[in-house]
Structure 1
Amino acid sequence: MTVLLSTRGLSKHFSGLHAVENVDFDLPAGQIRALIGPNGAGKTTFVGMLCGRITPSAGAVIFDGQDISHLPAHRRIRLGMAYTFQITSVFPGLSVAENVALAARPHLRGEAEVAAAVQDALDRVGLGGRTGQVAGDLSYGHQRLLEIAMGIAQAPRLLILDEPTQGLSDGEIAAFKALIRDLSATTTILLIEHNMSVVMETADMVTVMNFGAILAEGRPEEIRADPAVQAAYLGTDADAGT
């Protein structure tokens, strides 16, 4: 199996705090990988280093065999990485369609291709009927879905989603699970998520972080049964899907 994304010895220190420490990680192409762990485990810092928003203190990030550790975020996007943030980053003054078009244009030729990609991405996340609505007027949950559409429109090789179901209704979460399974046919997915039903029903493999390091990796059923994971994370608020 081809590894699309990996890290070796990846570390980040903030004023003596070891937020991420010596992480070796491998994500095969075509896999849905969930990244879970308690608050403060280092997940967001780790993903920030993958995306190029945070500079590592040590170690390497490798994408499709290329060391991208020192590439800025926009260069990583050009290589085929797309990501959504834990806090929405849509352009609130633009329409829903214009937000997605901005994400799609660097990857497509001609406005006809862009328009088709925009409509397809919005249809897939359930916002196809809101193309002309101002993004800032959307609910928080729908802004999350708009961000996912912006990622999809880039046709990425790797899609990184940070807390994508936060603010979604139960029905929207069910639709999100189906969307992830559909996307996995063409896209490798890294999912940072607290909702355990989403993790257990969509992920092929799960990586658990705690105190800036990898605590465990395995199939969802193995992770649920792992005593160390139960002690560190499961059996607390994660069981409630928060």
Structure 2
Amino acid sequence: MKHETDVILSTEGLGKSFDGLRANHDIDFTLRKTQVHALIGPNGAGKTTFVSMLIGRLEPTDGAIWFDGRNVTQMPAHKRVAAGMGYTFQITSVFARLSCHENVALAARRKQGGDAAKVEQVVADALSRVGLADRTADVAGDLSYGHQRLLEIAMGLASAPRLLILDEPTQGLAESEITAFKALIRELSAETTILLIEHNMSVVMELADEITVLNFGEVLARGTAAEIHANPAVQAAYLGTEAS
């Protein structure tokens, strides 16, 4: 496959089966640099399986994954992170007994090594960008679920990723926090590529440059927000009254 220079992530014929049951099948996917790309679909559509293969948590049954022109299909998850792929999970994965500062510092040290001054700068910047600058000393486990999601995004930012994959980032956020989150994504999209897996359709339609819809483990449609909103097959499978 010829890989275009403006493409940061792509898959070819990607598939995953569990004990003969097909979770993903023949997914061809392209994500362009500095794009906000949303992945949507009904529950059980195969989104989590697909993302788990992208980040190296699951090994594909079929197909290949390319990151910045390099075949990473067999690359372990930690090496994908080192190569510039950052992600947050649908279920928060913060270190509950550590402070917000310590959580983000762990991520920053992986990137900055022993440069303590640089680590402190990165931590302060990341917490500020997600609106947690006043929570730096708070224990992560004491935060609300929504604030834990924001902390996890700060941890992702601290690793300075070229691609940031956010799985249900607005889940548990208040409306005011969602507004701040949308502003953050617009700011980040100028410097990094974002893959957004999100159920909040107003967030998707407002932020995404392009949208891919999965259904029954396959790509149902791909296009701009306007094209997806108007697609009859997508309306029938997923959007329903939200598209009207």
* TM-score normalised by L of structure 2: 0.96
1:113 aligns with 2:118: yes
1:1-242 equivalences in 2 (<5 Å): 2-109=6-113, 110-235=115-240, 239=242
Q: 1:23, 1:235 → 2: CA distance?
A: 24
Secondary structure of the structure 1 residue equivalent to 2:171: coil
Deviations 1:42-87 (A, max 9, x none): 0000000000001100110000111000111000000000000000
Aligned-residue offset at 1:17: 1.1
Deviations 1:166-199 (A, max 9, x none): 0000000000000000000100000000001100
Q: Which ranges of structure 1 fall in alignment gaps of 5 or more residues?
A: none
Q: 1:142, 1:208 → 2: CA distance?
A: 28
Which runs of structure 1 show a deviation greater than 2 angstroms over 4 or more consecutive aligned residues? none
Q: 1:54, 1:3 → 2: CA distance?
A: 22
Aligned-residue offset at 1:108: 1.1
Amino acid corresponding to residue 56 of structure 1 in structure 2: P
Secondary structure of the structure 1 residue equivalent to 2:233: helix
Q: 1:45, 1:98 → 2: CA distance?
A: 30
Q: 2:21, 2:182 → 1: CA distance?
A: 36
Aligned-residue offset at 1:14: 0.5
Amino acid corresponding to residue 24 of structure 2 in structure 1: V
Secondary structure of the structure 1 residue equivalent to 2:240: coil
Tell me how many residue pairs correspond in the alignment: 238
Q: Which ranges of structure 2 fall in alignment gaps of 5 or more residues?
A: none
Amino acid corresponding to residue 54 of structure 1 in structure 2: L
Amino acid corresponding to residue 145 of structure 1 in structure 2: L
Aligned-residue offset at 1:205: 0.3
Aligned-residue offset at 1:106: 1.3
* TM-score normalised by L of structure 1: 0.97
Q: 1:18, 1:43 → 2: CA distance?
A: 13
Q: 1:117, 1:235 → 2: CA distance?
A: 43
Aligned-residue offset at 1:16: 1.4
Amino acid corresponding to residue 157 of structure 1 in structure 2: R
Identity of aligned residues (%): 67
